[in-house]
């Protein structure tokens, strides 16, 4: 007998299950609701309160001037500088209002000289013996009040405009200090001041 012929059947294409529109909408709504609930839960949590940030305290480095002060660079004859130190030491015993430190004594001399009128200032400088200039000047720096520098600069400008006197900061400071030295000599009744120690002390506390 002859073998029967096999008949191949056509392949069927799988059909995706039908999803109703209602089911899709329900899933989207559920996803949205889940997201909303998650956001609400996160918002309901207490927010940690951070401590206020304190501004950093102002620090002055070793190379910087204190607050309210400015560095004043000057040049000095050695004799003038030594006389200034001696006058400061004597002045500590002459008055309770004498500044407590040499740096402050220099500043007070600058302010006192700057407050004079231009004519009076020139009379004071003329009455002082000439400055000894036996060697090159040496640089000296002081921390003085910024307001003292402003007063000195204004006085220098006044002398130039009203008297045609040209002064720089260094020469103005030396004139102011020499005037202060002469004042100490007059008040102490001395023509010569004792030498000052190499390291000047501050006024001891009472």
> What average pLDDT does range 37-66 have in this prediction?
55
The answer as to whether 178 is a domain residue is yes
Cross-strand pairs, 76: 138
Eight-state DSSP code of residue 1? -
Asked if 74 and 140 count as a contact pair (C-beta separation under 8 A), the reply is yes
What percent of the chain stands above pLDDT 70? 68
Taking the C-alpha atoms of residue 154 and residue 42, their distance in angstroms, rounded to an integer, is 66
The answer as to whether 107 is a domain residue is yes
pLDDT value of residue 12: 56
pLDDT digit string (tens) for 132-188? 888 899 999 999 999 999 999 999 999 999 999 999 999 999 999 999 999 999 999
Per-residue tokens: 197: 């120690």
Residues 6+ apart with CB under 8 A from 146: 68, 69, 70
pLDDT digit string (tens) for 111-143? 999 999 999 999 999 999 888 888 899 999 999
- Domain interval for residue 132: 69-188
Per-residue tokens: 90: 């004597």
Taking the C-alpha atoms of residue 81 and residue 190, their distance in angstroms, rounded to an integer, is 18
The answer as to whether 45 is a domain residue is no
pLDDT value of residue 19: 47
Q: How does strand 69-76 pair with strand 138-145?
A: antiparallel
The answer as to whether 5 is a domain residue is no
The answer as to whether 96 is a domain residue is yes
Compute the Cα dihedral for 200, 137, 78, 84 and give only its sign: negative
* Continuous segment of H or E residues that includes residue 170: helix 169-188
Give the SS3 label for residue 126: helix
What pLDDT band is residue 65 in, cutting at 50, 70 and 90? Answer: confident
Structural domain count of the chain: 1
The answer as to whether 139 is a domain residue is yes
Give the pTM. Answer: 0.67
């Amino acid at each position: 007998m002859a073998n029967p012929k096999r008949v191949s059947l056509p392949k069927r294409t799988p059909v995706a299950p039908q999803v109703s529109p209602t089911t899709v909408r329900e899933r989207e709504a559920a996803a949205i609701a889940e997201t909303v609930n998650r956001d609400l839960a996160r918002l309901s949590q207490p927010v940690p309160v951070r401590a206020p940030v304190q501004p950093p305290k102002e620090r002055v480095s070793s190379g910087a001037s204190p607050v309210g002060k400015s560095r004043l660079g000057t040049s000095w004859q050695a004799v003038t500088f030594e006389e200034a130190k001696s006058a400061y030491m004597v002045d500590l015993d002459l008055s309770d209002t004498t500044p407590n430190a040499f740096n402050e004594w220099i500043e007070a001399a600058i302010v006192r000289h700057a407050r004079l009128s231009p004519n009076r200032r020139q009379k004071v400088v003329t009455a002082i013996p000439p400055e000894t200039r036996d060697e090159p000047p040496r640089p000296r720096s002081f921390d003085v009040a910024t307001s003292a520098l402003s007063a000195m600069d204004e006085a220098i400008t006044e002398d130039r405009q009203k008297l045609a006197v040209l002064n720089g900061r260094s020469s103005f400071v030396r004139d102011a200090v020499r005037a202060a030295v002469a004042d100490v000599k007059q008040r102490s009744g001395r023509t010569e001041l004792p030498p000052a120690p190499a390291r000047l002390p501050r006024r001891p506390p009472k």
